[in-house]
Chains A and B, each alone.
Chain A
Amino acid sequence: MSDILIIRSNCDAATYGTYNIGEGLVAYLQGKGHTVTELADAAASPANVQYWLTSAANRTTKLVIALDHGSATGFYGEVNNQITPVVTTANVKDLTQNLHVYTFACSTCSPGGLADTAISQGTLSWLGYVQPVYVFTDPNSALFKTLKDVIWSFITSLADGFTLETAEKALRDAYTAHKNDNPVFSYNLNLLKLCKKTTGMTIHSHNRLGGKSLIGTWGGMVAWGLPNNYVSAGAWTFKNDGTWSYASGGGRWIQIDDTAIWTFNNAPGLVYTCTVAADGLKGVMGYTTAPPNPGKGHFYALRAAAVSEAPVDVNIGPIEESLMGVNGEPLELATGGSVVDEVVRKYLVSLAGSK
């Protein structure tokens, strides 16, 4: 089973360029903790693509990256060094349902074409181009390397747990930053299109696993001691590499099936464990050290709309006399800015009030 499938054929001058865009991508994504399968060159065959994408087998669970030829009705791999369609309007429902797709290929997102068909049949998102794309042909040229960085910006954003909207913005910003360097950047930018089922998705929150992944950023609510006395604990960000962080510290986490557990580097003995659903966490926390300690309690969390690397203030949320940090220490009372946007914050507070 793989989180991500990369397809990149290499059978003519054009795919020599697109193929090289993907050079090094497997190692990069694996370095971020993802499981990745690559179908490169002759391995980018219809049979292999069918094997790795058919929904019944669930071998690819989150994202497909295709660096290939494309058209309004299909994207292509190769057989006997000849371009050959591997995903078409006829099989796209089976092969890409409940997956996110990113194609650096021609015309897959043309109006009424392959991507639109896919979204209408259950694919979660598809970012591609509405007309033919352009690529530099010398992989050693400075402009090729720049274009490669631009195209990767969407992938790295998704891999880091950002929403599709944030990843699309990263890609558009990257193209825009280089539009004066060569017309290729402007051409591709003007053809870009994101088709999607809904807003606010990440590859971790919506996928073939039902989105039961802790990876990403959550807005936490904690109740120490007294039941139902929930207060906001700010944003918690869980990364692929097994680490997590919040404004005052962080630690390590593990997940098996839909159960997760994490510890704190800065609060020895404190453990959180919970059940993971697509958009919510529900669990308990407490100190495993001998008393006296801050005790134990309950918590829940919802996915934040977007991930940010900006520092966060854990002291957000409703003013409560018993307000504590997530590790049980008393906090200064405050309200105000946070990576968890105001809508999510209010929703969390309203949930707390209804419990």
Chain B
Amino acid sequence: MLDDQSVAKLEAWVDTHPESADTPFMNVSTGEEFTVRGLLGKLRASVGGEVQLSESLQSELNQVKTWIGGL
């Protein structure tokens, strides 16, 4: 799961890249579609205890964490 620093970094990225954050992309294997803004929203909801993340969504968020950590 993303730590507070990663979440803050992701929020900042979404603010500075609004078009990219809303561009849908797909995991070709699962067919699941995402946007970075959508993933951020899921993450916030999870942190707030509103939803439980599925295993596949946790996997996607782990990839986001690796990516945002490398920027």
Contacts from A to B (Cβ < 8 Å): 12-15, 17-18, 69, 71, 105-107, 131-138, 141-143, 179-184, 186-187, 190
Among the listed B20, B28, B64, B70, which residue makes an inter-chain contact with A14, where contact means beta carbons less than 8 Å apart? B28
Extra contacts, 6 of them, besides A71-B29, A134-B26 (Cβ < 8 A), are: A13-B26, A132-B28, A135-B26, A179-B67, A180-B71, A183-B67
Contact size class for B? 20 to 34
8 residue pairs, one from A and one from B, having the closest CB atoms: A132-B29, A183-B67, A14-B28, A106-B29, A186-B67, A182-B20, A137-B24, A184-B25
Whether A132 contacts B27 by the Cβ 8 Å rule is: yes
Whether A134 contacts B27 by the Cβ 8 Å rule is: yes
Whether A14 contacts B31 by the Cβ 8 Å rule is: yes
Name B's interface SS: mixed
In the complex, chain B residues whose CB is within 8 Å of the CB of A137? 24-26, 33
Supposing A17-B26, A143-B20 touch, asked if A183 and B63 sit within 8 A by C-beta, the answer is: yes
In the complex, chain A residues whose CB is within 8 Å of the CB of B20? 143, 181-182
In the complex, chain B residues whose CB is within 8 Å of the CB of A132? 27-30
Smallest CB separation, A102 vs chain B (Å): 15
Whether A183 contacts B64 by the Cβ 8 Å rule is: yes
Whether A135 contacts B25 by the Cβ 8 Å rule is: yes
Among the listed A13, A106, A141, A190, which residue makes an inter-chain contact with B23, where contact means beta carbons less than 8 Å apart? A141
B26, closest chain A residue (CB) = A137
Smallest CB separation, A82 vs chain B (Å): 14
Smallest CB separation, A276 vs chain B (Å): 40
19 contacts between A and B (CB under 8 A): A12-B31, A13-B33, A14-B26, A69-B29, A106-B28, A134-B28, A135-B25, A136-B24, A138-B23, A141-B23, A142-B23, A143-B20, A179-B67, A179-B71, A182-B17, A182-B23, A182-B36, A183-B63, A186-B67
